[in-house]
Amino acid sequence: MADDPFPTIATERLDTGGWVLSERTSEQVFSLSTIRVEGHTLLYEQPALRERLRETIEEGDLPWRFFFATRLTFVPSLATGIGPMSVFPMVLAESRREFVADLKDRGFEAIDRGRTQRIRTDSGGRVRLTKYTARFQTADLDTEIEAWFGVWIDKGEFRVAGGAYPVTGVPDIDLAPSSYRDELLSLLRSVE
């Protein structure tokens, strides 16, 4: 639908992985001088791991694996002659700040920004992808988290996507971090 402000994601990849839409939001995510930047976000959770953790540990009722995709719009639209690349550095910096704030809101600590690399989306876009690591700690739990976050331009509009998953420190659960990472990056590549 042309008027839908939300990004599109390969639904077969979501269905195959058992991902469930948990939130669909539109809000002002930040502003750049005289322009408001609105984010139209789809947030997915992979509830199978959450259920297994909830049965094992009291602190397990968290969205341990999540994926989001956001389409950014500018209000008012960027002026004629000002293309998305001219505001890309500001959008990237603000989007990264928002992502780290979201990780903190989820209870993750010791958030550390790691390496940056580029990947291509299924539609040929170039994503600047950044890896983050974090911890989730309670009296009985010390879990290492890995997160990936990307910003790119698709057909003249910004897309922001990413997610996180546990790597180590979850008792009695066999984690598959490389599989989680591959699935997250596959979902990210499908965003348009």
Range of the domain at 162: 11-190
Q: Residues in the chain with pLDDT < 70?
A: 1-2, 58-63
CA 183 vs CA 13, 19, 98, 107, 189: distances in Å: 8, 11, 23, 23, 10
pLDDT of residue 1: 42
Q: DSSP secondary-structure letter at 4?
A: -
In a domain, 122, yes or no: yes
- Domain harbouring 182, CATH code: 3.40.1000
| Residue tagged 């008792």 (tokens) | 171
In-domain check, residue 34? yes
User: Of 173, 157, 156, whose CA–CA distance to 165 is shortest?
Assistant: 173
The answer to whether residue 75 sits within a structural domain is yes
Query: What pLDDT is attached to residue 2?
Result: 52
The answer as to whether 5 is a domain residue is no
pTM: 0.91
Q: Is residue 142 part of a domain?
A: yes
In terms of Cα–Cα distance, which of 65, 78, 55, 53 is closest to 18? 65
pLDDT for position 61: 66
- What does each C-alpha distance from 142 to 42, 57, 93, 158, 181 come to in angstroms? 29, 12, 29, 35, 20
What gap in Å lies between CA 115 and CA 132, rounded to an integer? 8
Residue 6 covered by a domain: no
pLDDT of 63: 66
Residue 113 lies in a domain: yes
Domain count, the chain: 1
Judge whether 105 lies within some domain: yes
DSSP, residue by residue, 64-131: -SEEEEEEEEEESPPPTT--HHHHHHHHHHHHHHHHHHHHHHTT-EEEEEEEEEEEE-TTSPEEEEEE
